[in-house]
A and B are shown apart, each in its own frame.
Chain A
Amino acid sequence: MMKIPCPHCGVRDENEFQCGGTAHLARPALDASDREWGEYLYFRDNPKGSHRERWRHAYGCGRWFNVVRDTLTHEISAVYPITETPAR
């Protein structure tokens, strides 16, 4: 079980959190093509290594935030606000 640093409450066990999958998926506008929309809905990268993902401290403050986690080692290298978009 991972330890996740909630930016508001501090380090807590993983079972207090809910994972929200890949971060920074931009919801396309209504006039997006079917293909573009379909990719937003159903297609996800499955990287080995660093992954930006959304987590929510569901059994704590209830707030969403972003996490950079290594999918292989589970190392969490960064945590930042949900509204922040990092430079790619």
Chain B
Amino acid sequence: MSRWRTASGGRIDRTRALAFRFDGVRYEGLAGDTLASALLANGVHLVGRSFKYHRPRGIVTAGAEEPSALVAVRRDGARETPNLRATQVELYEGLDALSQNRWPSLARDVGRINDWLSPLFPAGFYYKTFMWPKSAWKSVYEPVIRRAAGLGVAPTEPDPDRYAQCYAHCDVLVVGAGPAGLAAALAAADQGARVMICDEQSEFGGSLLADRHATIDGASAAAWVARAVADLAAHPRVVCLTRTTAFGYFPHNLIGLAERLTDHLDAPAPQAARERLWQVRARSVVLATGAVERPLVFPGNDRPGVMLAGAARTYLNRYGVRVGDRVVLVTATDAGYQAAIDLRDAGVAVVGIADLRPTVSGELPAAARAAGIEVTESATVLGTSGNRRVAGITIARTTSAGTGGDRRTLACDAVLMSGGFTPSVHLFSQSRGKLRWSDDHQAFLPDRSAERERSAGACRGATDLAAAIADGLEAGAESAPTRTAAARRITARSPRSADRGYLGAVPLASDASQKSFVDWQHDVTIKDLAIATREGFRSIEHVKRFTTMGMATDQGKTSNLNALAIVARAIDAPIPSVGLTTFRMPYTPTTFGAFAGPSRGDLFDPVRRTPIHAWAAAAGAVFEDVGMWKRARYFPERGEDMHAAVARECRAVRSACGLFDASTLGKIEVVGPGAAEFLERLYVNSWANLGVGRCRYGILCREDGFIYDDGVIARLAADRFHVTTTTGGAPRVLAMMEDYRQTEWPDLEVWLTSTTEQWAVIAVQGPDAREVLRGCVEGIDLDAAALPHMSVAAARICGIEGLVMRVSFSGELGYELNVPADHGLGVWKAVHAAGAAHGITCYGTETMHVLRAEKGYIIVGQDTDGTVTPDDAGLSWAVGRKKPDFVGRRSLQRQSMQAPDRKQLVGLRPRDGRTLLDEGAQVAERPDQRPPMRLVGHVTSSYQSAVLGVPIALAMVAGGRARLGQTLYIPMPGGDVEVEVVSPVFYDPKGERINA
């Protein structure tokens, strides 16, 4: 047994030794230890290097508020978790932990030079230093800063663990299972409420787990906790969650809980989930989150071995670990004395107590004095000594002259500090409850709740045990939906301590040469805060951002109030007027895995596949993602690359016949007596005059007059329209239609139904299309006179009832066969077989893009960008001029929307006939310009045209239609490319082929 482990007591299992490693060195701990308690039991205090100055750092606390002892825990290459608080890592056999922020080793770290150079980088250093030369940013400053910044290293392999998620509802959720939380849960359960109670620790009990003196209902604290936990566990309406952090408080009493399921096990089952994310909707919430002890801000307060008094007491009473052989207590509270007394009882030499308060009385100080411990009143600390662990502390008495008298240096190997207690109001503050400053408590306390919530116990200032329990009982009973049972009573007694504590730097700290740390994790000292106030910062929010105080992973749990007090004193303002920074979720860092849950890999996002997908895949198609859809991009034959496949597919459509799966087109059926009027008001086109059996290309604008979507609309009956939308646009078009239908025009009798998934759409395009379909389509005449371009007819298609639409997005004679989705694959196969004699060729979206670009047909979202009007896109012919109104009309009337220098759709042809332009490239009027260049447009689409044998492009160019024939220049990586402005219709400008 190590010499720092006590012979008996505590909640560890002395029969179960656990081997673990820290920085590769083997140590032994006990079941029930945390990594922190096990290291301390081995006399290890140096556990890390600080963020900025690389100073040696130790363990400051015993809980979630730990600002200093951050370590990485490694299970394997993919399972290495950085920045874990050693105080919360439960020990298991074989645990492998690593210190952080040191090189080459924790004991000899070259970054320590930053500490000696610290006068060179005060607060705001980064903002002021790396200003010039500008070119050094990318090459020097940023890489160096990035390497120096950040703590810990994230694993590079994918996370192999599973994470579960669940939802729960309850009447009362109790956060925190210390004395107040346990009392609240018991009281709520007594009233028949459905209760959930959670605590971040491995067992319930909170502060009682380290309390040797309190008695509750006549029993010891430990015995009472055991009984309370057993009562709750046996209760059918109570759910108890240990190792569960309430990390976020969201509107309407939704609380996020992260339950750690396997991190404490040496060999988790391979299928077991590592964590479970709970989303709990609670009728009422009781926050019993306790309070954290504040460090004192004195010179040299960050040496390993300097820790909170309450933490030392916890290590002793809960884990059976003495934090040193000779300790000094620096305190401004009575509670600190309890730690000194307990340590002395355990055989530790208490060398002295320095109390900042001018006069000290009370139960606990009296007991300390009675035990022969020397107490110095009106004390302050002038500095500490020791390299990798504290070895001495110099204390003095503050005199009325403002100097230190009776200066004495005490040799010690641990310093305990107790600056008072800061209520944990993080969740209350997240819930948007209002805090108020209490002079009595020297703390911010919950005032007005924003939710159905109440705080109980130490988090609302009730630090006395009996008061905390009474408060918890009241909170629990009050939060239950009904109050029928008699109120439970619990009597408790513990030594009284009246603790306002101390805020800010200790007297004379600013005169010392040693640094006085406020924020351990971000290395913020009182000097940094002084600089911030000298620079003129007054609000704590600004001071925080300038100094990074409280911005580390601990969000300043131990530092915020001290910083606030220091700033308030510096600018001579009361603390509440300096403000309090906003607490954000999560309370402690929460894994991304918990949030992602099962939504990864195949389950990350739904995948939509057309009925023809499997056939296309078997035919060797290469797919692309279009929204959630998988679409066949091209169908390469043996040895072909995309370029070759697309060229072959394009030639086939232009010369014979192509087959294309257009099932992803969005489809909405608009039905009812008001259907025509509805479309009349919504789309820019006229619809009243569209005959039954006819189709029209429709454009949908937003109220701002810019193109939102487009598609062919077929009139199937006087009161029935088949509206098609872009592949990605269907949901938002339907949503927009519903919005207008319900909110603007409730007078219209019209119904909207999404039919995207009901129809498979098979496009048959090319000069031979009609001949191919003659054998497939029954019941209608396919001749041009009977079924001209832009018409629609119901027919039997390969034996299936469907719609034949004569439409074309390729510029060729074309048909789109609409059949019920279940028959899509069968019809596809039959048409493919029927077309074999004509050399029918399957083509994908890439060829579709080339063919439409050759015809100057836009793709919404590629050639348009949300600032393009119908006229800009060359589509003013589609706008119904005689209509009284339509969505976007008023905007299109604005003068600026008709300005001649707006960007307009044009075609571009490279003068050299060879160079393929980059999509997104800029368009310039003059060559060889230097930045800042005058640019007049941009390339929106660019392809190699197989049928023309040259590259072609579409572009939006200012005043483009007036520039036909002009030469413009496209700056590209290889130099300017000279292009001619041409009509966007490159192929068959008269439209003879489409009407064939």
Which residue on B lies nearest to A54, using beta carbons? B743
Contact B735 A41 (CB under 8 A): no
**Would A64 and B739 be within 8 Å (CB), given that A2-B251, A30-B890, A37-B890 are in contact?**
yes
Contact A28 B450 (CB under 8 A): no
Apart from the given pairs A1-B254, A28-B890, A82-B743, 20 other A-B contacts in the complex at a CB distance below 8 Å: A1-B251, A1-B252, A1-B279, A3-B252, A20-B739, A27-B744, A30-B884, A30-B890, A34-B894, A37-B891, A37-B894, A40-B703, A41-B891, A56-B735, A56-B738, A62-B738, A64-B739, A64-B743, A73-B432, A73-B450
- B215-254: CB near A (< 8 Å → 1, else 0) gives 0000000000000000000000000000000000011101
A20 and B738 CA atoms in complex are apart in Å by 12
- B575-609: CB near A (< 8 Å → 1, else 0) gives 00000000000000000000000000000000000
A18 and B893 CA atoms in complex are apart in Å by 31
A58 — which chain B residues lie within 8 A by C-beta?
735
Q: What are 30 A-B interface contacts by the 8 Å CB criterion? A: A1-B279, A2-B251, A2-B252, A3-B281, A14-B251, A27-B703, A27-B744, A28-B890, A30-B884, A30-B889, A30-B893, A32-B890, A34-B894, A37-B890, A37-B891, A37-B894, A41-B704, A41-B891, A54-B743, A56-B735, A58-B735, A62-B738, A63-B742, A64-B738, A64-B739, A64-B743, A72-B432, A73-B450, A82-B743, A83-B746
A20 — which chain B residues lie within 8 A by C-beta?
739, 743
Considering only residues 1-53 of chain A, those with a C-beta below 8 Å from chain B are 1-3, 14, 18, 20, 27-28, 30, 32, 34, 37, 40-41
Contact A74 B251 (CB under 8 A): yes
B885 — which chain A residues lie within 8 A by C-beta?
30
B252 — which chain A residues lie within 8 A by C-beta?
1-3, 74
A47 and B704 CA atoms in complex are apart in Å by 24
Which chain A residues have a beta carbon within 8 Å of chain B's beta carbons? 1-3, 14, 18, 20, 27-28, 30, 32, 34, 37, 40-41, 54, 56, 58, 62-64, 72-74, 82-83
Contact B891 A82 (CB under 8 A): no
Which residue on B lies nearest to A74, using beta carbons? B251
A72 — which chain B residues lie within 8 A by C-beta?
432
Contact B889 A64 (CB under 8 A): no
CB-CB nearest 10 A-B residue pairs: A74-B251, A3-B252, A64-B742, A2-B251, A73-B450, A1-B254, A2-B252, A82-B743, A37-B890, A64-B743
B281 — which chain A residues lie within 8 A by C-beta?
3
Measured CB to CB, the closest approach of chain A to B282, in angstroms, equals: 12
Measured CB to CB, the closest approach of chain B to A10, in angstroms, equals: 14
Measured CB to CB, the closest approach of chain B to A77, in angstroms, equals: 13
Which residue on A lies nearest to B433, using beta carbons? A73
A83 — which chain B residues lie within 8 A by C-beta?
743, 746
Contact A56 B891 (CB under 8 A): no
Measured CB to CB, the closest approach of chain B to A20, in angstroms, equals: 7
B739 — which chain A residues lie within 8 A by C-beta?
20, 56, 64
B703 — which chain A residues lie within 8 A by C-beta?
27, 40-41
Q: Total number of A-B contacts with CB less than 8 angstroms?
A: 51
A73 — which chain B residues lie within 8 A by C-beta?
432, 450
Measured CB to CB, the closest approach of chain A to B113, in angstroms, equals: 49
Considering only residues 438-460 of chain B, those with a C-beta below 8 Å from chain A are 450
Contact A82 B742 (CB under 8 A): yes
B251 — which chain A residues lie within 8 A by C-beta?
1-2, 14, 74
Measured CB to CB, the closest approach of chain A to B708, in angstroms, equals: 14
A14 — which chain B residues lie within 8 A by C-beta?
251
- B744-783: CB near A (< 8 Å → 1, else 0) gives 1010000000000000000000000000000000000000
B735 — which chain A residues lie within 8 A by C-beta?
18, 56, 58
Measured CB to CB, the closest approach of chain A to B435, in angstroms, equals: 15
- B692-719: CB near A (< 8 Å → 1, else 0) gives 0000000000011000000000000000
A37 and B705 CA atoms in complex are apart in Å by 12
A40 — which chain B residues lie within 8 A by C-beta?
703
Which residue on A lies nearest to B256, using beta carbons? A1
A74 — which chain B residues lie within 8 A by C-beta?
251-252
Which residue on B lies nearest to A62, using beta carbons? B738
Measured CB to CB, the closest approach of chain B to A76, in angstroms, equals: 9
Measured CB to CB, the closest approach of chain B to A44, in angstroms, equals: 14
B891 — which chain A residues lie within 8 A by C-beta?
37, 41
Which residue on B lies nearest to A18, using beta carbons? B735
A86 and B82 CA atoms in complex are apart in Å by 55
B744 — which chain A residues lie within 8 A by C-beta?
27
Measured CB to CB, the closest approach of chain A to B259, in angstroms, equals: 19
Which residue on B lies nearest to A23, using beta carbons? B743
Considering only residues 856-896 of chain B, those with a C-beta below 8 Å from chain A are 884-885, 889-891, 893-894
Which residue on A lies nearest to B887, using beta carbons? A27
A40 and B894 CA atoms in complex are apart in Å by 14
B889 — which chain A residues lie within 8 A by C-beta?
30
Contact A1 B704 (CB under 8 A): no
Measured CB to CB, the closest approach of chain B to A69, in angstroms, equals: 10
Measured CB to CB, the closest approach of chain A to B132, in angstroms, equals: 39
A34 — which chain B residues lie within 8 A by C-beta?
894
Which residue on B lies nearest to A63, using beta carbons? B742
Measured CB to CB, the closest approach of chain B to A38, in angstroms, equals: 8
A37 and B432 CA atoms in complex are apart in Å by 37
A74 and B738 CA atoms in complex are apart in Å by 26
A37 — which chain B residues lie within 8 A by C-beta?
890-891, 894
Contact B250 A1 (CB under 8 A): yes
A41 — which chain B residues lie within 8 A by C-beta?
703-704, 891
B893 — which chain A residues lie within 8 A by C-beta?
30
Which residue on A lies nearest to B702, using beta carbons? A41
Interface centre among B254, B281, B890 (most CB of A within 10 A): B890
A18 and B736 CA atoms in complex are apart in Å by 12
Which residue on B lies nearest to A28, using beta carbons? B890
A20 and B254 CA atoms in complex are apart in Å by 23
Interface centre among B739, B744, B885 (most CB of A within 10 A): B739
B250 — which chain A residues lie within 8 A by C-beta?
1
A6 and B884 CA atoms in complex are apart in Å by 35
A32 — which chain B residues lie within 8 A by C-beta?
890
A79 and B754 CA atoms in complex are apart in Å by 28
A37 and B894 CA atoms in complex are apart in Å by 10
B743 — which chain A residues lie within 8 A by C-beta?
20, 54, 64, 82-83
Which residue on A lies nearest to B734, using beta carbons? A62
A3 — which chain B residues lie within 8 A by C-beta?
252, 281
A34 and B738 CA atoms in complex are apart in Å by 27
- B630-656: CB near A (< 8 Å → 1, else 0) gives 000000000000000000000000000
B890 — which chain A residues lie within 8 A by C-beta?
28, 30, 32, 37
Measured CB to CB, the closest approach of chain A to B674, in angstroms, equals: 16
A20 and B739 CA atoms in complex are apart in Å by 9
A72 and B739 CA atoms in complex are apart in Å by 27
